[in-house]
Chains A and B, each alone.
Chain A
């Protein structure tokens, strides 16, 4: 047995003359690399093909015949078998005897390749070409190749094939490539059934997150993630994993799917959970095991089904109400909200595994900010009713549709803009003439605030005017967040 020996093959640089007929893995894709043609008979002289990459990924292609080298035999497992001729002993003999006697070691006994059937030798050709059989078998195969034409032909062919094995390049597809490719296709042939404008952010954000997940191994899928949001004006969090986050997205996107007549992922859970948080907990509970990478497939299918259904129902369906349990959004806004959540959680995931992650395309970012800005008056009113926001000394109610006391929300950066937020009633219209305060902050910072990832007291916002109004709006923005 010599497994330990083989696997302890040194990764050092080439020993002996490099065999140029063996292309190095990694060079094959480049024009100008060796042409990979074999000389055809070199293996009959005891070299074996193995363009094996070293452990660190750098290729080396010296003629290191499998099991045929002795200098790496320190981990030897006691194989006493024959050593091929003209080579160092595969396993050094006990060192003590040399030191004690000072005499040179006796030459190792000549190998006696085991007598193997033709069929067995043939079956070994693949392992031989990969340098993955024992020294004895290697010797037997190589002896056989000198006398068996068909086996020698196959051996050459298989060894050339080894030269074609290449570590898959880890190519990160540029996430913006998708948008560019699809846009250029749709330019050339306009779609008869387009994806509605209001579903595009969802389509783009889910695809971006999917690209991030592409190369995740088990350790990434199980990396801990902390979901963070604001509840009752307190920062709140819930521990889960990357896979758990995707399960969370499946559970909450399921609200939209269900309303569209698609399958509700919670149907099997049998729960009557309505709110995003309750649905997530129910979905997590319903599975016997913690979520794994297998959640990716169903999540993607759900994304695709939602986008597809949105395309078929067309713009008319955009107004359909989607219930979140304690409030409702029209479908067009619900999909924006889901796109926003997808981005926020993609950032959570990227942070957990130390990957970079960009903000959404400016036009998508802007529509997400716009949704938050439109929701703020409603949230302010609800908070006032709950006693969480100041009634405000200067508060004055106006008739519906009339201009009311307003805060100017100025969003900087790509995807930015200005919004006038009516402060006293959702029915009022934002008005520059009635502006009592002005805050300015970066678009991504505003989104982090609205996602509950930045506390309102720490949001990096330039502020001018009524401090009470500013505080109310910042807290209202943070309270937009939920699990």
Chain B
């Protein structure tokens, strides 16, 4: 579950504290983002040890280079998610390439497809997690609880029109996970945040 949106002030102060070399700030950063980082890495890599490794890399990067985060460019959460995504996809590509070179099955295209697929899945997770709560609640009701939109409307205490609107908007947001960024561009973690 997403925590309530932290004010940008928190992000700015966190960056300053990290830049000052305050170990307590690093602990707080971990407490806030560790489960996001770990679950995104796990979604891409499908492996606990690999997700552990990415978690270490992400926090090490933020701790060693806090200045690379620009508070004006967006929330720290988004930035941390993009960083995690990039490192995890990099590692996936590296391990898959190594496997391929050692005579593993599949072609280079298969590899690219798997990488792309994992990337989309991880982005989708993030979008669901970061979307406004009313949209997420509607999707959860309709998809996981198998409620139709009228029941969803009743459950959420909104009109049927509104329930339809939320379901459609939620899926529209989610569908942006498929929008693959141009090669080299940072993955799109901004959209739903």
Residue numbers of A with Cβ under 8 A of B are 1, 3, 6-7, 9, 28-33, 35-36, 52-53, 55, 66, 123-127, 129-130, 132-134, 157-158, 160-162, 164-169, 171, 173-174, 177-178, 180-182, 184-186, 188-195, 203, 207, 210, 214, 300, 304, 307-308, 311
Contact = CB atoms under 8 A, between A and B. Distances in A.
A355 to B, nearest CB: 17
A55 B120 CA distance: 25
B32 to A, nearest CB: 10
B55 A177 contact: yes
Interface string B149-172: 111100000000101111111111
Interface stretch (B39-47, B68-76, B79-87, B183-191): B39-47
B67 interface: no
A475 B162 CA distance: 65
Given A132-B142, A165-B143, A126 B52 contact: no
Contacts of A177: 34, 38, 52, 55
Interface in B117-159: 117-118, 120-122, 124-125, 128-129, 139, 142-144, 146-152
Contact of A35 (B113, B124, B143, B164): B113
A66 B142 CA distance: 12
Contacts of B59: 181-182, 185
Given A28-B121, A31-B92, A160 B178 contact: yes
Contact of B35 (A33, A36, A171, A189): A171
Contact of A165 (B39, B152, B174): B174
Q: Interface majority SS on B: helix, strand, loop or mixed? A: helix
A55 B38 contact: no
Contacts of B122: 29
Contacts of A1: 150
Contacts of A55: 146
Nearest to A55: B146
Chain B interface bracket (under 10, 10 to 19, 20 to 34, 35 or more): 35 or more
Nearest to B154: A3
Contact of B167 (A53, A126, A311): A126
B63 A31 contact: no
A185 B114 contact: no
A307 B21 CA distance: 15
Given A32-B114, A304-B28, A308-B28, 14 more contacts: A35-B113, A129-B167, A157-B178, A161-B124, A161-B174, A164-B177, A164-B178, A169-B42, A173-B35, A180-B56, A192-B20, A193-B21, A193-B24, A195-B24
B38 A31 contact: no
A165 B168 contact: no
A150 B46 CA distance: 36
Contacts of A188: 60, 63-64
Residue among B21, B64, B92, B129 with the highest chain A CB neighbour number at 10 A? B21
Contact of A194 (B23, B56, B150): B23
B26 interface: yes
A195 B43 contact: no
B96 A52 contact: no
A341 B95 CA distance: 45
A118 B163 CA distance: 18
- Best-surrounded residue of B34, B92, B177 (most CB of chain A within 10 A): B34
A202 to B, nearest CB: 11
A190 B26 CA distance: 12
The 4 closest A-B pairs by CB, nearest first: A126-B168, A192-B21, A31-B114, A126-B167
A185 B120 contact: no
B121 A166 contact: yes
A308 B121 contact: no
A127 B148 contact: yes
A427 to B, nearest CB: 37
B43 A29 contact: yes
Contact of B46 (A30, A132, A160, A203): A30
B179 to A, nearest CB: 10
B31 interface: yes
B168 A7 contact: no
Contacts of A171: 35, 38-39, 42
Contacts of A130: 139, 142-143, 149, 167, 171
A181 B146 CA distance: 40
B38 A173 contact: yes
Contacts of B43: 29, 169
Contact of B27 (A66, A133, A195): A195
A131 to B, nearest CB: 8
Contacts of A189: 21, 63-64
A37 to B, nearest CB: 10
Contact of A191 (B26, B55, B178): B26
Contacts of A7: 146-148, 151
Given A132-B149, A311-B23, A178 B34 contact: yes
A171 B125 CA distance: 14
5 contacts: A7-B147, A123-B161, A133-B149, A165-B128, A193-B23
Contact of A300 (B31, B113, B151, B170): B31
Contacts of B167: 126-127, 129-130, 132
A421 B28 CA distance: 39
Contacts of A66: 148
A3 B168 contact: no
Contacts of B64: 185, 188-189
Interface string B47-64: 000001001100110011
